[in-house]
Structure 1
Amino acid sequence: MVDFVDEVRIWVKAGDGGNGCIAFRREKFVPKGGPSGGNGGRGGSIYFRASANTKTLREFYYHRHFKAESGKPGEGNNRTGADGKDLILNVPSGTVVIEIREGEHEVILADLDKIGMEVIAAKGGKGGMGNAAFKSSTNQTPRVATPGEKGEEKFIKLELKLIAEVAIIGFPNAGKSTLLSKISNATPKIADYPFTTLIPNLGVVELGDGRQFVAADVPGLIQGASSGAGLGIKFLRHIERTKVIIHLIDLSLPDVQNRYYSVRDELGKYNEKLLDKPEIIVGTKIDIPESKDNMEKLRELAGNVLFISSFTGEGIKDLLEGIWALLKKT
């Protein structure tokens, strides 16, 4: 069973308009009554709405075809057919709604980055006109009505970009999930092997005094991710909305500088704008003896380097205050 889905392609079909009606009045003492055919009802439209109760696009992974209700046909006595019901599809906040047109050309319809935002993706067809609408001075008994318009149908791509202020990135097994579990209410899966985290995790970090922010643990990147190595770059879109990047480097392993630049290189290949985001470089696992030798090598990268141990808690308070200071500046 798929637990987390952040991209899916679906088909939507708005309702057709109801047909107009051909009818004539049948009244006592009026042998040739005038036209009384009503118009057809409007077809239902399809909307996407950002909902606080939806966290993933999983529902759309299993159900990919959606149709709104068609309008009812018109009736005699000038009765208009009932409109078809609109279909409202709830998606997570942060979902980008994209129309896929001919030649796989993609057009963004909306970026639903706030709860309650909505966009119409497919418009319902207008109802047809009944014969009463065609009565004129020269045609008192029209025998014509029009069919309802067809509702729009489209292929839609939904792309979820998690809304977090802080992204925690780094090589696999650098301690991202462990750090998130220590500083927030998140409970990610944690184990001592690469690619334990297969989906992004979100956690709310409380600093006290009403200060809080949302952090995202992004699955590990490795060299060649932009070409599909490891988990590839499928989760990098979740970094795009963040304000601050926390780049974790495992100090218990060699080549700390090369591992840092490898991840930065992959970020740049995906989107150069990610390289402009404020970054804090964090050396992790300083409780392990082998890490001491690599601390100075990491300091050579930049002045904005911190060191922590998620196991002992050392340095975490300073890290959180540093994150908050950067968030206030952005």
Structure 2
Amino acid sequence: MTVPAGERGTTTVAPRAVRRIAERAAAEALPDGGSVLRGSAGVRGTSARISVGVRLPYPVRADEAARRIRERAAARTAALTGLSVPRAEVRVDALSAGPAPVVPEGVEVAPGPAGGRSGPRIRAERRVPAAALAAVGAVACGLVLADVVAVRFGDAPAGWRTAALDWAATHGPADSAVRIGGAVAALAGAWLLGCALLPGLRRRLRMAAPGPEIRAALDRTAAARILRERALGVPGVVRARVTVRRRRAAVRAGVGYGDPAEARAEAVRVLGAALLELGLTRPPELRVRVRREAGMPPPVPEESVVAVERPDAAGRSDAATGSDVVGRPNTAVDGTPGARGGLRDGGEA
């Protein structure tokens, strides 16, 4: 007698196994230098939802790399688990900075792919608020349900429930305790509505996407690291501090040698090109501040350097007087030691 296939048993793939498979599949499609940071998976019936966070090498086209990783992870997970994967998410959480390429003078870098079209905003999962609300609701509903069941079986109602009902019957809206409780409930409700409606993930910058089904974001810390590496590659810059926000990228650079004005102009050019290479939907406004490091001498102007010529046989010389010569104060024109303060008559020391 042959047992029908539906009665032989069931096969259940745990979310942890699906997560590990998705991480391994994503690692197979990573470019050289990339790595998988973390992943998550959820299983409902015969379908699975996977999400993988990766680190990509820089520079790299993040949208193309994320598309390859997403397709590979979805296909391999579906093939190895037998589950359908209707949705797969890839998050670019970090970039590994490499050596900064040299930007030639006058070369402009085009903006992100697909003309800078923005993909759908990535929303935060809000795991902590959802877990806290679910725990509080489960405890409250469990206590009320247990007391109602006990009363149905003939037991007396719980003391806390009768005390709460008596207190509510004797206190009205004019009491301070009722007003404070109402204010707390209103604040909690506004906070929950904000968590439900606002997208969150303010530390990630949206990147341009070639299609509506691809969402890409860049962490602000990774963007600041890239800009800092580029700033340190500018000649004369020995220290750099970068702060990247949603609308502004502030760079404070310290110059150890050279002209600060020239260093700032070069930093603006290099960092402006780096912002465009990040492929962001809305590149932040760049603000660069340059100052000379403490203890570094200012550059000597070229006009203050005077050429010194050796006198001819008649003792005449076209050189400037001793007060105009920049150099050793106790040396005469012909190189012999002389008195402090300049030259004597006739060019002698």
Pair member with larger Rg: 2
Bigger helix fraction: 2
TM-score between both structures, scaled by the size of structure 2 = 0.27
Bigger strand fraction: 1
TM-score between both structures, scaled by the size of structure 1 = 0.28
